[in-house]
Amino acid sequence: MQKRTLGKSNLEVSALGFGCMGLSFGYGPATEKEQAISLIRAAFDRGITFFDTAEAYGPFVNEEVVGEALAPFRNQVTIATKFGFEGGKPQAGLNSQPAHIREVVEASLKRLKSDSIDLFYQHRVDPAVPIEDVAGAVKDLIKEGKVKHFGLSEAGAKTIRRAHGVQPVTALQSEYSLWWREPEEEILPTLEELGIGFVPFSPLGKGFLTGAIDRNTTFADGDFRKVVPRFEEENLKANQKIVEVLGDIAEQKHATRAQIALAWLLAQRPWIVPIPGTTKLHRLEENLGAADVQLTSADLRQIADAVSKIEIHGARYPERLQQMVDR
């Protein structure tokens, strides 16, 4: 697995990371613990060194699984986790008070079986707490050795600049894929200017870009996609065009849709590190194959031309969650 450095930091990670959320949270029933541990270790065995979790995934259980899975090779991997919700529960609202950030660090370190957190993201921007105070709190934790790098998630360009002025931001984690390209307008230029890495979550469109989901798909209880407007039946039907485009390119390149979608992201900037997640070993191996797919400038033009003609239907979040996205 090739390595990439997140922006101008010294944080080098595998070119593809592993998003661990879906093992415990967001996509229906949690994966059985031993099976989840086995999959995380399989990812490490195949070259992944960058693992993403959060106290809110579960809450708490995902960090515990990640901590146990990676304990045997803790010094060989980068673990990212997040703070920012009251009691670790998104439905309880935001809390990025400095005292709360400190409480989260101590609890996360125990669950992760670690002396320090490699990359500590603010999960969502808290309008009640100046971002300078948040960055200052993390700066103190970095001085104490409890955190190594500071990150933001779903933060707007102005917030990124303000935070970066207090404590350099190593990475921004936000949604970015062929069916959500808003970051190209303002976020990517800001990150490039400031030397900040980008970690796209949902790089496969929450599974949609793989071609495995269509208007007839039913989601399990507890699956977040049940309430996402973009996954409503009529929107899925309208959005199928982008899956067809990916299928055409994949056939030409002797690859899968997922591999093309990930290879496209990798081709956008050398400091972009997507974190696809899965609960299945064969999907993990398929995703890893994206690192070997070489998209030429002609391929990228073909994709850009085809996608530019497609209008994506449906919001990516229900309204209550959309309100938590910083602008």
Per-residue pLDDT of the chain (327 residues; tens, 9 = 90+): 999 999 999 999 999 999 999 999 999 999 999 999 999 999 999 999 999 999 999 999 999 999 999 999 999 999 999 999 999 999 999 999 999 999 999 999 999 999 999 999 999 999 999 999 999 999 999 999 999 999 999 999 999 999 999 999 999 999 999 999 999 999 999 999 999 999 999 999 999 999 999 999 999 999 999 999 999 999 999 999 999 999 999 999 999 999 999 999 999 999 999 999 999 999 999 999 999 999 999 999 999 999 999 999 999 999 888 889 987
User: Which distant-in-sequence residues (6+ apart) come within 8 Å of 207 by Cβ?
Assistant: 213, 225
- Please state which CATH number belongs to domain 3-322: 3.20.20.100
Class of residue 38 by CB neighbours under 10 A (exposed 0-12, middle 13-18, buried 19+): middle
Q: Residue 327's pLDDT is what?
A: 74
Would residue 27 show up in a list of annotated catalytic residues for this protein? no
Q: Residue 323's pLDDT is what?
A: 87
Q: Rounded to an integer, what distance in angstroms lies between the CA atom of residue 285 and that of residue 43? A: 8
Unique residue bearing structure tokens 């010094």: 75
Catalytic residue from among 27, 57, 121, 176 = 57
Closest CA to 85 of 110, 57, 62, 113: 57
Q: Which amino acid is at 2?
A: Q
Q: Which amino acid is at 145?
A: G
The domain ranges of the chain are: 3-322
**Using H for helix, E for strand and C for coil, what is the string for the chain?**
CCEEECCCCCCEEECCCEECHHHCCCECCCCCHHHHHHHHHHHHHCCCCEEECCCCCCCCHHHHHHHHHHHHHHHHCEEEEEECEHHHCHHHCECCCHHHHHHHHHHHHHHCCCCCEEEEEECCCCCCCCHHHHHHHHHHHHHCCCEEEEEEECCCHHHHHHHHHHCCEEEEEEECECCECHHHCCHHHHHHHHCCEEEEECCCCCCHHHCCCCCCCCCCCCEHHHHCHHHCHHHHHHHHHHHHHHHHHHHHHCCCHHHHHHHHHHHHCCCECCCCCCCCHHHHHHHHHHHHCCCCHHHHHHHHHHHHCCCCCCCCCCHHHHCCCCC
Closest CA to 57 of 19, 106, 95: 19
- Helix 98-111 to helix 61-70 angle (10° resolution) is 50
How do residues 289-306 score in pLDDT, each as one tens digit?
999 999 999 999 999 999
Q: Residue 197's beta-bridge partner residues?
A: 171
Q: How many CA atoms lie within 13 A of 318 on its CB side?
A: 8
Displacement of CA 148 from its chain's centroid (Å):
19
Q: Residue 123's pLDDT is what?
A: 98
Q: Rounded to an integer, what distance in angstroms lies between the CA atom of residue 168 and that of residue 153? A: 14
Q: Residue 203's pLDDT is what?
A: 98
* Residue 85 token pair: 């919700």
Q: Residue 42's pLDDT is what?
A: 98
